[in-house]
């Protein structure tokens, strides 16, 4: 790409197409980190992800898609695994890198569009989506599933922790089991091993919001 064809410097979306969530709010994801912690930034990894890690659920090269300020990725990297965390929010990535330096954890954080992960030019054995899938609308989900498939090794494992539609006090953008199955289907290169009820902790939910933890295998 020539210098002249790069995105305008005043483009808050960095030359990419805004996601449905960004179109709805009128703000790029980066704006979520401009005035203190984002609602999902709980200053620690999600308990569900800690539990998966404690059971040996992460192996090989690991990708955290939509890593935010890096707490989940840092937790996995601290176990000695090779981890790459990606996000479109440069402010969140800067915070994540500072945390890694302070904690002396070896990890890579990079700017990348979750809908265009093939641009990474890399493949991973384990992929994590914590709180990203539910932000995409039905029209974006097939492309997102394909993007994840492009960087996941055959027989690799994807974990999706997302807000569910089952229970009171649901989070924003709740999704159903059926929507997960529709997105991660064999035709898209995936098979769902399990969808279990769980919780996503936020700064506004004392005991977490209802969630699904899906375990998905790349075929």
- What CA–CA distances, in Å, run from 154 to 43, 97, 123, 124? 33, 30, 10, 9
- The string of pLDDT tens digits covering residues 68-126 is 999 999 999 999 999 999 999 999 999 999 999 999 999 999 999 999 999 999 999 99
- The string of pLDDT tens digits covering residues 153-193 is 999 999 999 999 998 889 889 999 999 999 999 999 999 99
- The string of pLDDT tens digits covering residues 8-39 is 456 666 777 767 776 666 677 688 898 888 88
Question: Looking at residue 164, what DSSP letter applies?
Answer: B
Is residue 93 within a helix (H) or strand (E), and if so which, with residue range?
A: helix 90-103
pTM of the full structure:
0.90
Look at residue 86 and give its three-state secondary structure: strand
Question: pLDDT confidence of 6, banded at 50, 70, 90?
Answer: very low
Question: pLDDT confidence of 7, banded at 50, 70, 90?
Answer: very low
Q: Are 209 and 202 in contact (CB under 8 A)?
A: yes
């Amino acid at each position: 790409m020539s210098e002249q064809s790069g995105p305008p410097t005043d483009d808050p979306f960095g030359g990419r197409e805004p996601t449905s969530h960004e179109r709805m709010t009128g703000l790029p994801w980066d704006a979520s980190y401009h005035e203190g912690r984002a609602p999902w930034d709980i200053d620690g990894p999600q308990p569900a992800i800690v539990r998966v890690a404690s059971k040996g659920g992460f192996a090989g090269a690991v990708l955290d898609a939509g890593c935010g300020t890096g707490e989940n990725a840092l937790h996995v990297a601290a176990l000695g695994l090779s981890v790459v965390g990606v996000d479109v929010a440069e402010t969140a990535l800067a915070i994540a890198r500072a945390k890694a330096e302070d904690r002396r954890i070896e990890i890579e954080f990079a700017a990348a569009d979750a809908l265009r992960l093939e641009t990474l030019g890399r493949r991973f054995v384990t992929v994590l989506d914590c709180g990203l899938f539910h932000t995409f609308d039905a029209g974006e989900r097939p492309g997102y599933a394909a993007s994840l498939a492009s960087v996941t090794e055959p027989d690799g494992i994807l974990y999706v922790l997302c807000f569910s539609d089952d229970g009171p006090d649901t989070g924003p953008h709740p999704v159903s089991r059926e929507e997960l199955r529709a997105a991660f289907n064999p035709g898209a290169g995936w098979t769902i091993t399990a969808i279990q009820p769980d919780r996503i902790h936020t700064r506004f939910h004392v005991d977490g919001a209802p969630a699904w933890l899906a375990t998905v295998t790349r075929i």
